[in-house]
Amino acid sequence: MDFETAAGEHRSFLMQIAIASARNPTDAEDIVQEALIRGFRGISRFRGDCPLRIWLSRIVVRVAINHHKSAVRRLKRWIFFTDLETSYEDGSVQGFDPQDRSKDFDREAFMDVRKQVNRLPDDFRLPLLMLALDGLTIPEIAEILEIPQGTVKSRIFYARKRLKETLGKRRR
């Protein structure tokens, strides 16, 4: 399988990681594009000691961290899922159209949670989102972030604890 085919298979997974980090689809697209370029250029250094998906994920995380540190990118943005769209090879575009669940939950509380999650430091936010939104396992997160599993567990624990404390104060 050539690199382009393999990259295409993993693109949506890589986008999830980039969106979790960048907080908006436009920057996430740039991050994934840059990561895939770096992956293509560095494929000769791929040792095969992990799946290609994990190797590419590591590149996405590094590019996302560098992107986030950039002074120009410090503006905080919201992810509005209505802005997400899927482009197909035939040139057609399908907008993200989720079911209307606005009556299923307290929208104000949801926005407060999102705001507080976005305020978490990257070290805590990324593992939490990778677990909660991307459905990755602790070992997968550890491998992608290149940190021990215990550190992943600890960061997720402290992220949840911070959220609970912050959101608990707001509810009183």
Res. 104 pLDDT band, cuts 50 70 90: low
What rounded mean pLDDT belongs to the chain?
A: 78
| pLDDT score for 82 | 46
Secondary structure string (H, E, C) spanning 67-107: HHHCHHHHCCCCCCHHHCEEECCCCCEEECCCCCCCCCCCH
Q: How far apart are CA 115 and CA 161, in angstroms?
A: 15
Read off the pLDDT of residues 71-94 as tens digits, 9 standing for 90 and up. 343 443 434 444 556 667 787 776
| Residue 26 pLDDT > 60 | yes
Round to whole Å and give the CA distance between 45 and 47.
Answer: 6
Span 119-168, pLDDT tens digits: 888 889 889 888 887 778 888 889 888 899 999 999 999 998 988 888 77
Q: Which residue stretches of the chain are H helix?
A: 3-22, 25-42, 52-69, 107-119, 122-132, 138-145, 149-171
CA distance 29 to 172: 39
CA distance 116 to 128: 12
Percent of the chain with pLDDT over 90: 13
Q: Residue 101: its pLDDT value, please?
A: 53
Query: What is d(CA 170, CA 15) in angstroms, rounded to the nearest whole number?
Result: 32
Which domains are delineated in the chain? 1-98 (1.10.1740.10), 101-167 (1.10.10.10)
